[in-house]
């Protein structure tokens, strides 16, 4: 197994530790775990492309690991009343639509590439999670300012979720005629 794939696996293994730290109220630890796991996303892709180590495992598991990490955090944030459930439902609806289209295309031997807007969406989600987690580490006086910043970034990610999903469907609408 190559290094990028090992980094993807590390990111997936980090998720239960992130969740446990959060649920136990160890917000600084959950923040550190989330940041470290997020950084592996950057490096596994960079290493895979620069060293020509792109694999089918990586193509499937890398985005899945991102989603498991980020959506675990968002589920925790619903429980903590940081975000609303409908926000995660919107995000998941986009992901199911994209995954369904990719599955249909793959059954016909076609690979649908991820677009830049989808990557921007993921980065915005990760940054919003980091800001929310950081705010939980602060005292009440400063916490509300960081929560507000996290909300602005998260709303931007929701806009990108809708935009990237719409762009993906329109760009790949031929899948519906397969």
Distance of CA 173 to the CA centre of its chain: 24
Structural domain count, the chain: 1
**The domain that contains 81 carries what CATH number?**
1.20.120.1760
State the residue range of the domain holding 63: 3-177
What is the DSSP track for 64-116?
A: HHHHHHHHHHHHHHHHTTSS-HHHHHHHHHHHHHHHHHHHHHHHTT---PPPH
Q: What is the pLDDT of residues 110-160, one digit of tens each?
A: 877 778 999 899 999 999 999 999 999 998 889 999 999 999 999 999 999
State both tokens at 55.
Answer: 């694999």
**pLDDT tens-digit series, residues 45-98:** 889 889 998 888 888 888 899 999 999 999 999 999 999 999 999 999 999 999
Q: Say what the pTM is.
A: 0.92
């Amino acid at each position: 197994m190559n290094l990028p794939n090992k980094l993807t696996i590390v990111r997936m293994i980090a998720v239960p530790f992130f969740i446990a730290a959060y649920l136990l109220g160890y917000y600084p630890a959950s923040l550190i775990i989330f940041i470290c796991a997020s950084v592996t996303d950057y490096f596994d892709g960079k290493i895979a492309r620069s060293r020509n180590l792109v694999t089918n495992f990586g193509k499937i598991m890398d985005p899945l690991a991102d989603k498991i990490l980020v959506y675990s955090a968002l589920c925790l944030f619903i429980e903590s009343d940081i975000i609303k459930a409908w926000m995660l439902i919107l995000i998941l609806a986009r992901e199911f639509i994209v995954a369904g289209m990719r599955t249909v295309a793959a059954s016909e031997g076609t690979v649908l590439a991820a677009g830049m807007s989808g990557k921007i969406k993921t980065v915005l989600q990760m940054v919003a999670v980091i800001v929310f987690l950081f705010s939980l580490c602060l005292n009440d006086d400063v916490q509300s300012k960081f929560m507000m910043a996290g909300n602005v970034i998260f709303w931007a990610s929701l806009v990108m979720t809708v935009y990237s999903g719409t762009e993906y469907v329109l760009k790949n609408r031929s899948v519906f005629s397969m």
